[in-house]
Structure 1
């Protein structure tokens, strides 16, 4: 397994007028397995043609195609009404994986969850929920909600974001120990004083997390880097994955 790239790596450049496609094309010679685009970074006027071109690039490079939805799945008393539109979009552009924030499902009924299960089972798209840096992402709540979803056999994976815990004063290593069995996608960050930094410059014991991660789970670099820094960051992740897989 090799590192994967979330387009957060290029966020400032894209927000300044670049396209996700143009920066992904620059990764063609990099040793990576998957890419993840971000819904909020698309220009709606060009999104259709860009997604088509990104799929073609993924086919050419043999990359897995992931998409981050900038919304919450559970909205207090309802399941996100846009979910089916996102699933249809994923099928249209051959996106294999959608990621969406968990949100608040405390007041979501069993009937609503059963309807969600039926909807997800109608699409050949893998959907994961992600822990958020807010009250919904507190470890005890995440654990309870994952248990609830699993008991009802809701076909949702879980994206573990190693950085989001810091903003709600939680320990990512403690969180990892408690919910590692549920993880299906891993978003990697190193944090220092609640700021994202380059790997090995923060306080996150990221190599330990990767060492204890199942070897079929993609590891996404999901923090902004410069063009000069990115090759070294990919190399660090790939070396850590190689060391783990050789044990």
Structure 2
């Protein structure tokens, strides 16, 4: 059965207003979800890691961790990799997501070392297609995932449905090609504007992507996260739409 979660980007208005993620987790749990994905770029001080851990325990939330840094840089693991994993352990996180970076060019030894570091801490990892020309194209992402599989790596894949539009690529084609690799799904919809300056996320029912046909095709063990800014009074409705789509 598909598990639905909320990425803290949903609460962008509150985050931009200075509300810490730890203070938002109770409201997220109040929507009846058991998964939340916290974002490193909004952690403002060291004590927040412990506050997030405490809030998650108190409200029965399993945590994922979004780190907006490339996993591999110039063939080597990111220099902050160990620190990022230790932060995750401190918060009680299950999965850590990175930008894919240069994974497609990484040696088998580098990918094995990444897997070993995660396993030692009881973590799973995933890489994402972002909105950059370096890390967001279908060709780059397919090459990264093929390389991981080629060398027997355990790194998973977070498929971000909306990001393809910022690269001028077809989200449906990307889904078809990359479906076998998906371990986490970031759900959003977009207005489809041809002018990227006008491209924006929308409420799920208002965009151009046929996301409803995609969700039932995901494995039951692939969590689906809402991952776009949503006004607080519309979060429940967006969750209801996803629940209806996954059955």
TM-score (norm 2): 0.90
Partners of 1:3 and 1:31 within 8 A in 2: no
SS at match of 2:122: coil
Post-superposition Cα deviations, 1:37-85, rounded to whole Å, max 9, x if no partner, equal: 10001112xx42x332322332333321111112111113421011111
Partners of 2:29 and 2:60 within 8 A in 1: no
Pick the aligned partner of 2:216 from 211, 227, 244: 211
Change (3 A) 1:122 1:27: closer
In the alignment, what sits opposite 1:149? Answer: 148
TM-score (norm 1): 0.90
| Aligned-partner Cα distance in 1 for 2:74–2:115 | 18
Change (3 A) 1:216 1:111: closer
In the alignment, what sits opposite 1:78? Answer: 76
| Aligned-partner Cα distance in 1 for 2:114–2:128 | 17
| Aligned-partner Cα distance in 2 for 1:110–1:214 | 27
Alignment of 1:51-90 (within 5 A): 51-90=49-88
SS at match of 2:9: helix
User: For structure 2, which runs of at least 5 residues remain unmatched after alignment?
Assistant: 194-198
In the alignment, what sits opposite 1:164? Answer: 163
Deviation at 1:107, TM superposition (A): 4.4
In the alignment, what sits opposite 1:226? Answer: 231
In the alignment, what sits opposite 1:21? Answer: 22
Matched, 1:30 2:31: yes
In the alignment, what sits opposite 1:42? Answer: 43
| Aligned-partner Cα distance in 2 for 1:77–1:153 | 17
Change (3 A) 1:111 1:29: closer
| Aligned-partner Cα distance in 2 for 1:213–1:177 | 11
Deviation at 1:137, TM superposition (A): 2.0
Deviation at 1:142, TM superposition (A): 1.2
Matched, 1:118 2:85: no
Partners of 2:3 and 2:221 within 8 A in 1: no
| Aligned-partner Cα distance in 2 for 1:70–1:236 | 28
In the alignment, what sits opposite 1:129? Answer: 127
Deviation at 1:2, TM superposition (A): 4.4
In the alignment, what sits opposite 2:101? Answer: 103
Matched, 1:239 2:225: no
